Chains A and B, each alone.
Chain A
């Protein structure tokens, strides 16, 4: 077909493209600014007018990963020459590295809690979604609605009793406590998304397997699971991003051992005020994996974003 009434003209496309690209570029500015700030020195980061061209420096990253103490110029001169670039940067500010900062540990907590809760919610979610999809469960619709409605509660409203409950059970500020909590929050989304994916797998495949003498269990993991792999993967990414970004529960229920990065990054303080390059460095390291994920997996993510509600 060479002509279609619904195909926009090339002029329309050009105008639409220009407007959308302009919006996209504007929307990227704050994110680019975070990355640019992470490579500035503290004085450069707070100069007026804001600097677009500057000498890149790793000081933000060094400050992010270390704690430093100020020393007198005489003592500084008496020290042996710096062993690496990090020490050199720090000594230029009349300081020495005192030790590692808490950032590495907080980042690791984010990884442990993120992956732990993602695994658990996808595991339990797949089982529940399969059961909802294939078996007659009494009150299935009500149960599904109940599962979804748990997302309507403000996190702070649930946080009060969970705080009390965790205090009694000794789960406050533990990895296990946070993993269970994030799983409970994520599982509603996981069940809904996965049920959609499993619904689309024809029942006939399993029934053929059952007739061939498979048990229901075998039919589930040998026939259904491989078919649902893409759906499971994109659900997992969603759960991971939620757990990675979550702040309200993390700030209320963790303070040390199990604290994740989002409540920690805003508290990075340098000498004489907030250390913006270090904060930006932490933010960059924390946000970049999600950005890369999003760009790489864009096709699979769209369905999850729209909450499975927008389905054909």
Chain B
């Protein structure tokens, strides 16, 4: 039977059957089934979002009981002129760029190696996946112990291989190293995610393409650049999208590792936002910042998805 026949049968059946069905109509059931989910999302996602937009035009402070005034776009103007905010955006960009860079590089390499199908590869894949399943806050907290100068394992290992005195550098305490300390932990934790998606991409390439290339006497290197890379690219880009969104929002891991310090070199957007909203209690101001962040993520993601679809079409 051709696909078309199946489709026709499938689309014709429900209507005829529907008349015979007892009980609630399909339409009623559809709304009963979808309703609670939509309600929950409206109450806990959309309503808060609208409230945030509303608050962003006020000078409201959640820890005071004073009269709330609407101050128009003043919060937005202040944020765009605030050098702290721009510094936090820079910290976020540094973190985003380097984590994505290392995770794509290592993640793809690992997937490529695992796809060689050596014996026991699924067990080792599972072991590699473990870090990303764990609580970032708890793991991040423990990494501060590994990063201790003198007693920490990380410093000890570095000094073992390089001969540098282990107490001569502080990963979390120095302005130069702290941004890299969070990149290392995030890469350790999330490379497996990129790896898994790449692996799915590699496994989706049918063997006959390579066989055809082999018959055409294409070299292995050429096969890699003209078959493997282009076929995996859409998957890789998807992985970058997911990791990009997650790392833009990054909060728990970095709060535990550096708390935004030393000074504010690792104070990324979410941490800055938390400080404004829940420590300085500038609710209106931080709401405006939240909206700017949301629009940024949403905007960047939409542009990126457009590019992704173009790659897929090729």
Interface centre among B51, B145, B146 (most CB of A within 10 A): B145
Contact A17 B119 (CB under 8 A): yes
Nearest A residue to B10 via CB reads A203
* Shortest CB distance B2–A (Å): 17
Q: Are A156 and B270 in contact (CB under 8 A)?
A: yes
Does B153 count as interface, using CB distance less than 8 angstroms?
yes
- Contact of B188 with A165 in the complex, beta carbons under 8 Å: no
Closest to B200 in A: A310
Asked whether A4 lies within 8 Å of B207 as measured between CB atoms, the reply is yes
Within 8 A of B (CB), among A134-190: 135, 137, 143, 146-147, 149-165, 180-181, 183-184, 187-188
- Chain A contributes a number of interface residues (CB within 8 A of B) equal to 107
Task: Write the A271-304 contact mask toward B (1 if CB under 8 angstroms, else 0).
Answer: 0001010011011001100110111001001100
B52 to chain A, nearest CB (A): 5
Minimum C-beta distance from B304 to chain A (A): 12
CB of B118 within 8 A of CB of A20, answer yes
A251 partner residues in chain B, CB cutoff 8 A = 137, 255
Q: Name the residue of chain B whose CB is nearest to the CB of A265.
A: B138
Given A203-B10, A266-B141, A162 contacting B48 (CB threshold 8 A): yes
The one of B26, B33, B118, B204 in contact with A16, judged by C-beta atoms closer than 8 angstroms, is B118
Summarize B's interface: helix, strand, loop or mixed.
helix
Q: Is the CB of A215 within 8 A of B21?
A: yes
Are B110 and A290 closer than 8 Å at their CB atoms? no
Query: Given B22, B126, B137, B242, which contacts A263 in the complex, CB threshold below 8 Å?
Result: B137
CB-based A-B contact count at 8 angstroms: 310
Q: Which residue of B lies closest to A219 (CB)?
A: B21
Chain A residue numbers with a CB within 8 Å of B249 are 153-155
User: Which residue on chain B has the smallest CB distance to residue A183?
Assistant: B40
Secondary structure call for the A interface = helix
Q: Given A28-B130, A165-B48, A291-B130, A152–B297 Cβ distance below 8 Å? A: yes
Contact A307:B242 (CB < 8 A) given known A27-B127, A50-B153: yes
Interface size on B, residues (CB 8 A): 107
* In the complex, A55 has a CB within 8 A of chain B: no
Render B38-52 as a binary contact track against A, CB cut-off 8 A, 1 for contact. 101101111111011
Q: Could you tell me if A287 and B118 are in contact, using CB atoms closer than 8 angstroms? A: no
Q: Given the known A-B contacts A127-B36, A180-B40, A279-B142, are A158 and B22 also in contact in the complex, defined by CB atoms under 8 Å?
A: no
B287: CB under 8 A from chain A?
A: yes
Q: Is the CB of B30 within 8 A of A137?
A: yes
- B100 interfacial by beta-carbon distance below 8 Å: no
The 5 closest A-B pairs by CB, nearest first: A157-B290, A215-B23, A17-B118, A184-B44, A247-B137
Chain B residues near A (Cβ < 8 Å):
10, 13-14, 17, 20-24, 26-27, 29-30, 32-34, 36-38, 40-41, 43-49, 51-52, 55, 62, 106, 110, 113-114, 116-122, 124-139, 141-143, 145-146, 150-153, 156, 166, 188, 193, 196-197, 200-201, 204, 207, 210-211, 214, 235, 238, 242, 245, 248-249, 251-252, 255-256, 269-270, 273-274, 277-278, 283, 286-287, 290-291, 293-294, 297-298, 301
Sampled A-B contacts (19; CB under 8 Å): A21-B124, A46-B151, A48-B150, A154-B249, A155-B251, A155-B270, A156-B251, A157-B293, A158-B48, A165-B51, A187-B41, A207-B13, A216-B24, A245-B135, A247-B137, A247-B251, A274-B145, A294-B130, A310-B238
